[in-house]
């Protein structure tokens, strides 16, 4: 009797494992992931900034959005942040918003970075990499230029000069 119960239990466990493996293979290879590309609608998200305010991308319709993914350990990110901050002070008045998304670091390390560079735009932490994954970001820095209608106008990976930041912000002015 006990042997029969163990056999049934083992069979159930084996079937559950096989179902899990089958689902994983199916979802990774047979479902198409929609890649964010130029011309597509930017995936909406809600993240909270360092001061506790929530930011929903769709709330910025009508404005250009300079969506930047970065990390405190990323030297190119560190180099371009002052450029982004300086240009933001000019372009904010012209309808361009900067949303800086840190990729899962601690609030303390992000706050220290923000304070060190005196950043004035909203800085959020993507704690579980959900936004980073939605945008298919695989290297930093990565910037998505989003127009007033919520469409991705350009995707930039790698370091930007201050002149590039200025031109990109100019290109998404509403």
* Radius of gyration of the chain measured on its C-alpha atoms: 21
Q: Are residues 156 and 102 in the same domain?
A: yes
On whether both 11 and 80 belong to a single domain, the answer is no
The encoded tokens of residue 110 equal 């992000």
* 166 within a domain of the structure (yes/no): yes
Q: What is the pLDDT of residue 34?
A: 56
Q: Which long-range contacts (CB under 8 A, 24 or more apart) does 28-34 make?
A: 33/136
Instruction: Please tell me the predicted confidence (pLDDT) of residue 89.
Output: 94
Q: Judge contact between 68 and 98, C-beta under 8 A.
A: yes
Please tell me whether residues 9 and 54 are part of one structural domain.
Answer: no
Do 56 and 22 share a structural domain? no
68 plus 118 within the same structural domain: yes
pLDDT in tens, the chain (174 residues): 788 888 888 888 888 887 767 666 665 555 444 578 888 999 999 999 999 999 999 999 999 999 999 999 999 999 999 999 999 999 999 999 999 999 989 999 999 999 999 999 999 999 888 999 899 898 999 999 999 999 999 999 999 999 999 999 999 999
How many domains is the chain built from? Answer: 2
72 within domain boundaries: yes
Looking at the fold, whether 54 and 22 belong to one and the same domain comes out as no
φ, ψ at 7 (rounded to 5°): -65, -45
Please measure the distance between the N-terminal and C-terminal CA atoms of the chain and give it in whole angstroms: 75
Between β-strands 64-70 and 142-146, what pairing exists: parallel, antiparallel or unpaired? antiparallel
Domain hosting residue 136, numbered range:
46-171
pLDDT of the residue at 31: 44
CA–CA distances in Å: residue 122 to residues 47, 87, 89, 92, 110: 10, 14, 12, 12, 12
Q: Are 57 and 119 found together in one domain?
A: yes
Contact 99, 126 (CB under 8 A): no
Look at the chain and count its residues. 174
User: 27 in a domain, yes or no?
Assistant: yes
pTM of the model: 0.79
> Do 22 and 50 reside in the same domain of the chain?
no
Q: What is the CATH number of the domain that holds 107?
A: 3.40.30.10
Give the per-residue pLDDT at 98: 97
pLDDT at 13: 85
Q: Is residue 36 part of a domain?
A: no
Using CA atoms, how far apart are residues 8 and 130, in angstroms rounded to an integer?
A: 39
One domain for residues 68 and 135: yes
């Amino acid at each position: 009797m006990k042997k029969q119960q163990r056999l049934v239990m083992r069979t159930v466990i084996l079937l559950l494992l096989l179902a899990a493996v089958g689902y994983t293979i199916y979802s990774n290879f047979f479902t198409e992931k929609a890649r964010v590309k130029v011309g597509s609608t930017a995936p909406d998200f809600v993240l909270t900034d360092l001061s506790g305010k929530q930011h929903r991308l769709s709330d910025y319709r009508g404005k250009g959005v300079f969506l930047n993914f970065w990390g405190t350990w990323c030297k190119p990110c560190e180099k371009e942040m002052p450029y982004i901050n300086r240009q933001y002070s000019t372009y904010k008045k012209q309808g361009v918003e900067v949303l800086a998304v840190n990729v899962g670091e601690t609030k303390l390390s992000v706050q220290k970075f923000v304070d060190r560079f005196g950043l004035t735009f909203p800085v959020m932490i993507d704690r579980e990499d959900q936004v980073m994954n939605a945008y298919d970001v695989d290297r930093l820095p990565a910037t998505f230029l989003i127009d007033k209608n919520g469409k991705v106008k350009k995707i930039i990976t790698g370091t930007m000069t201050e002149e590039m930041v200025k031109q990109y912000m100019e290109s998404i002015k509403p």
